[in-house]
């Protein structure tokens, strides 16, 4: 049932701007770093730091990909739910022989899938960027795939509570200004307050900074709380009289 609902949701966005945003986020993060390296080449690509070029490139892209992920999840969640809101089609959607919790889960899965595609593209673009940098200075060492995958996917997994929250707000609120505002404020809070918050604050987790020695703490906490927020949002949507 969920696969059929997800297929239906994908058909709804077939010719929508959402796909452009899915590509724009990772492409913009890598593109800005290409410009940065082009303008500051002598400083960023020094011979004594040649062995760290891969790590520096990955970390530089990650620093821009994080705000793109945080604002992107709010925009994508709003746009996927906005299809029904704009056409006043919620009653028509819920009149179909599907359960309300499946409809809600379908919106969450669609948002999560689109963000996952964006993370895959981020890994690919970062790999191309790092490979070109290394080839330009004649290095052909091993690619740190572990670090590359961690930087591309860990923030996404740690942000699951935020994805579930934004899906919840976007689906249940007709006025999309509220969910978007929450998403923008959340992005600002994460970018400027992550290092000051205690480890239990969810807005800290996508930054992968904590007092533990490994970012898997944030990933595990994100997946666990994300499941709880999803169930809470689903429960409210099932009880709510959607107009």
- For the chain, the average pLDDT equals 88
Domain range for residue 24? 2-239
Query: For 104-145, how does the pLDDT look when each residue is reduced to its tens digit (9 = 90+)?
Result: 898 999 999 999 999 999 999 999 999 998 888 777 778 899
Stated pTM of the model: 0.92
d(CA 144, CA 127): 10
Query: For 30-79, how does the pLDDT look when each residue is reduced to its tens digit (9 = 90+)?
Result: 999 999 998 988 888 877 676 788 889 999 999 999 999 999 999 999 99
Higher pLDDT, 158 or 140: 158
- Contact assessment for residue 120 and residue 28, using Cβ atoms and an 8 Å cutoff: no
Please tell me whether residue 90 adopts helix, strand or coil conformation: helix
d(CA 102, CA 133): 46
Query: For 179-226, how does the pLDDT look when each residue is reduced to its tens digit (9 = 90+)?
Result: 999 999 999 999 887 788 888 999 999 999 888 778 899 999 999 999
How many domains are contained in the chain?
Answer: 1
User: Can you give the pLDDT at residue 156?
Assistant: 97
d(CA 208, CA 190): 11
Tokens found for residue 145: 């795939």
- Count the Cβ atoms, other than its own, within 10 Å of residue 212: 10
Tokens found for residue 152: 């591309």
Tokens found for residue 120: 């895959």
d(CA 27, CA 64): 11
């Amino acid at each position: 049932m969920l696969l059929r609902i997800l297929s239906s949701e994908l058909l709804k966005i077939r010719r929508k701007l959402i796909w452009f945003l899915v590509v724009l986020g990772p492409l913009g993060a890598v593109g800005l770093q290409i410009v940065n390296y082009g303008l500051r080449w002598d400083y960023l690509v020094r011979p004594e730091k040649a062995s760290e070029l891969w790590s520096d490139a990955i970390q530089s892209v990650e620093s821009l990909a994080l705000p793109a992920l945080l604002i992107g999840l709010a925009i994508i969640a709003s746009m996927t739910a906005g299809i029904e809101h704009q056409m006043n089609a919620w009653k028509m959607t819920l009149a179909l022989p599907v359960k309300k919790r499946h409809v809600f889960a379908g919106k969450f899965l669609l948002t999560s899938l689109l963000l996952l595609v964006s993370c895959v593209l981020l890994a690919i673009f970062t790999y191309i960027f790092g490979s070109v940098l290394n080839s330009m200075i004649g290095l052909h060492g091993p690619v740190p795939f572990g670090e590359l995958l961690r930087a591309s996917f860990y923030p996404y997994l740690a942000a699951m509570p935020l994805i579930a929250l934004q899906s919840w707000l976007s689906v249940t609120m007709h006025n999309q200004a509220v969910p978007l505002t929450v998403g923008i404020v959340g992005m600002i809070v994460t970018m400027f307050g992550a290092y000051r918050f205690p480890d239990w604050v969810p807005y800290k987790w996508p930054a992968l900074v904590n007092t533990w020695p490994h970012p898997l703490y944030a990933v595990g906490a994100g997946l666990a709380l994300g499941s709880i927020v999803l169930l809470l949002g689903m429960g409210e949507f099932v009880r709510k009289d959607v107009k």
